Amino acid sequence: MAADETEGEVPDGAPWWETAVFYQVYPRSFADSDGDGVGDLEGIRGHLADLAWLGVDALWISPFFRSPMADFGYDVSDYCDVDPLFGDLAGFDRLLADAHALGLRVVIDWVPNHTSDQHPWFVDASSSRDSPRRDWYVWRDPTPDGAPPNNWVSAFDLSAPAWTFHEPTGQWYLHLFEAAQPDLNWDEPAVEAAMHDTLRFWLDRGVDGFRADVVHGIGKDPALPDDPPEVAGVPHCALNDEPVTHERLRSIRALVDGYPGDRMVVGEVFLLSTDAVATYYGRGDELHLAFNFPPLFAPWRADRWRACIEDTVRALDPRGAWPTWVLANHDNPRPRTRYDRAAARAGEDAGTTARRSEARARAAAVLLLTLRGTPFVYQGEELGLCDAEVPPDRQVDPGGRDGCRAPVPWDATGDHGWPTGSGVRTWLPLPPEADTRNRASEAADPDSVLHLYRRAIALRRSTPALVRGSCTLLDAPDGVLAYRRSVGDGVAEGSATDGDTVEVLVNFTDGPVEVTPGGTVLLASDDPSPEARFTGVLGPDRAVVLRR
Ligand code: TEU
């Protein structure tokens, strides 16, 4: 097998966010302590031990701030308070203290591109054209023909403009997302200062960092030009890539790095190319980490994953930017659902899809947790959940993302750990197979997806080559992705000091594939106690980690 692509090693002393496994908590759907059918901070606190058992190092908690919930918390009306639905500040402090006591870092969501239209800043700004806060948002005069100021479309409804006409004051305001989410104007220094204060508020409380929502939105071309015709209809949030943003990120970096204790920012730079994302971080500049979404959208195909890995190496490595890997989040169909739907579209029969579904998700988990970079696990991914079927009368999200946000089933009881009382039901229906595919049932079954995640995370933690080793793509038969991870001198002694090398093989096909035999099987996606010596036959949709 010939090597054709290598990423460098990370020097010793890598910061925690480069060696951590992150776990995303979507608080509405994680766990409910008060029986109102919506998750809350006490619910999260009650399950911290489960997350420590899983072996993750850090939590990213999606928004729990005061919000009218037009976008389920991504429309913030007070950045410095907890929405009563989720608890209160004292409850957050308890959650943070308990997480830290268990060795879990806590990163919270920060939504700098827009506020809620109920935020006092927007209430003030929209009260009059003369409001001192008028320029905190992006206003434009009416055009002669009554059309919106430019051709930008809103992210959730591509047929709708990213502008709403505000009758009382006779101007349009910009919103890349819902009308209830007016964009802040970061060209106004007071906005930047106020948003910095919101960071300080949480840093002072002890959070380990932030996941910064659509953070590339904080700089926009002040001329607000039309998007070119060839991309008209693509949400502007996926195109906005302005030089001024980099300066603003440097200020944020300086603020965050000014705090003791290695705080960090992982940015959601929702641009369509890895090359573009790469310009937002690296070598201590701007963001600490940035999400890279092409792997999340990649189909279950070896060549496409290989291309994602090659692109990542090519774009990030020269900049010293550390990769991140994501299979799932609260905005996209879960991996099983995504792969199943793609297979159905490609003509796979339903029986085959049913047989392959979990196997594909298991093999993908091995990929996620063995690639070079920081993995992010989305709650419920470790249970192998599919999206919920959400009937029309229960759909609530303006972006059509309800399915992946279904509540996490905790046990096999009737309510699956969501204690709902008199007529209360969970805010979204539970995912399929909750009777068997729940935390308690999977914890009791060593063959479960949950235990696979736990084993893979544990292997990662105990294998220096997987945490910080170089990654070399290897030649492999069609439909197989193979890579080698190495630290030190590359001698396969299994000792951290002497160097360490492991090999990962992933079969994306529905048939067995012959590869080079030999080596010890450290982890297999389909078997808690796999064969000791690798036979060279890689089963369908199977991933193995070997020490050759
Ligand atoms: O998402 C930003 C984003 O651009 C997409 O993921 C978006 O959800 C998709 O284009 C819609 O189809 C972030 C948050 O992750 C998301 O939940 C919020 O709704 C959005 O920002 C606005 O804050």
Three-state SS for 470-499 is EEEEECCCCCEEEEEEEECCCCCCCECCCE
Nearest to 26 by CA among 77, 55, 54, 60: 60
Between the CA of 14 and the centroid of ligand 1 the distance, in Å, is: 30
Secondary structure of residue 287 in the 3-state scheme: strand
pLDDT for res 2: 37
Q: Which of 30-39, 242-251, 291-300, 418-427 has the lowest mean pLDDT?
A: 418-427
Cβ distance 289 to 447 under 8 Å? no
The pLDDT of residue 9 is: 58
Contacting residues for 383 by C-beta, under 8 A, at least 6 apart: 408, 409, 437, 438, 439, 442, 448, 449, 450
Min mean pLDDT across 64-73, 239-248, 394-403, 486-495 is at 486-495
Q: How far is the CA of 285 from the centre of ligand 1 (A)?
A: 25
249 close to 257: Cβ distance less than 8 angstroms: no
Q: What angle do CA 379, 385, 390 make, to 5 degrees?
A: 100
Average pLDDT over residues 297-308: 97
Task: Tally the residues of the chain.
Answer: 548
Confidence class of residue 156 from pLDDT cuts 50, 70 and 90? very high
388-400 pLDDT, tens digit per residue, is: 999 999 999 999 9
Q: How confident is the model at residue 421 (pLDDT cuts 50, 70, 90)?
A: confident
Contact 535, 468 (CB under 8 A): no
Distance CA 269, CA 384 (A): 27
> Taking residues 358-387, what's their average pLDDT?
98
**Residue 12's pLDDT is what?**
65
Which tokens go with 468?
């910080």
- Choosing from 268, 382, 500, 503, which is the catalytic residue? 268
Confidence class for position 303, pLDDT limits 50, 70, 90: very high
The token pair at 38 is 């919506």
Q: For the chain, what percent of residues have pLDDT higher than 70?
A: 96
What per-residue confidence (pLDDT) applies to 233?
A: 86
As given in the structure block, the two tokens for residue 326 are 């994501």
Provide long-range contacts, Cβ within 8 A and 24+ apart, for 274-280.
274/308, 274/311, 274/312, 274/315, 274/316, 275/311, 275/315, 276/241, 277/315, 278/315, 278/316, 278/319, 278/321, 279/241, 279/246, 279/319, 280/215, 280/216, 280/245, 280/246, 280/249
pLDDT given at position 272 = 83
Assess whether pLDDT exceeds 70 at residue 264: yes
**What residues line ligand 1, using a CB cutoff of 6 Å?**
71, 74, 111, 155-156, 177, 213-214, 235, 237, 268, 270, 330-331, 399
Q: What is the DSSP letter of 156?
A: T
Mean pLDDT score, 254-280:
96
Task: Report pLDDT for 7.
Answer: 58
- Write down the catalytic residue from 213, 241, 382, 500: 213
- Give me the pLDDT at residue 8, please: 58
The alpha carbon of 176 and the centre of ligand 1 are apart by a number of angstroms equal to 10
Q: Is 141 a catalytic residue?
A: no
- Interval 440-463: pLDDT, tens: 999 999 999 999 999 999 999 999
The answer to whether 268 is a known catalytic residue is yes
Q: What is the pLDDT of residues 353-368, one digit of tens each?
A: 999 999 999 999 999 9
